[in-house]
Amino acid sequence: MTTFKDRNKGFEQKFAHDEELKFRATARRNKLLGLWAADQLGLTGDEAQTYAREVIKADLAEPGDEDVVRKVRSDFDAKGVEQSDHQIRSIIDEMMAEAVRQIEAEAKS
């Protein structure tokens, strides 16, 4: 019985750890996306950092990435930045891969 409880507890801990990593990677991805989008919008310095935080917050509106795509799309449209939704989603995928690489590198050091 103890072995089963220990195993179950191990699975729960792994699930919690994996969920935390997923959350951190998504937040990092959104920051990287926000910085990229800020560059496209001509924002630099503190304005770029503030915009990146806005992108992070936008992801809390609903599950999935559509809230982030809508935020960036809306801001691009307002400033006349030419990027398709497909291109924005491709950048989201690239930024997720980069976020995971960064988090893994931090874990190793």
Q: What is the pLDDT of residues 78-105, one digit of tens each?
A: 999 999 999 999 999 999 999 999 998 9
Task: Give the global pTM.
Answer: 0.84
67: in domain = yes
Full domain range(s) for residue 51: 30-35+44-109
Is residue 85 in some structural domain?
A: yes
Flag whether 2 is in a domain: no
Q: Give a yes or no: residue 107 inside a domain.
A: yes
Asked if residue 71 belongs to a domain, the reply is yes
The total number of structural domains that make up the chain: 1
Q: How far, CA to CA in Å, does 106 sit from each of 3, 32, 35, 87, 99?
A: 33, 16, 20, 28, 11
Which pLDDT band holds residue 17 (cuts at 50, 70, 90)?
Answer: low
> Within a domain: residue 24?
no
63 belongs to a structural domain: yes
Q: Is the dihedral of CA 21, 101, 60, 43 positive or negative?
A: positive
Mean pLDDT along residues 30-39: 97
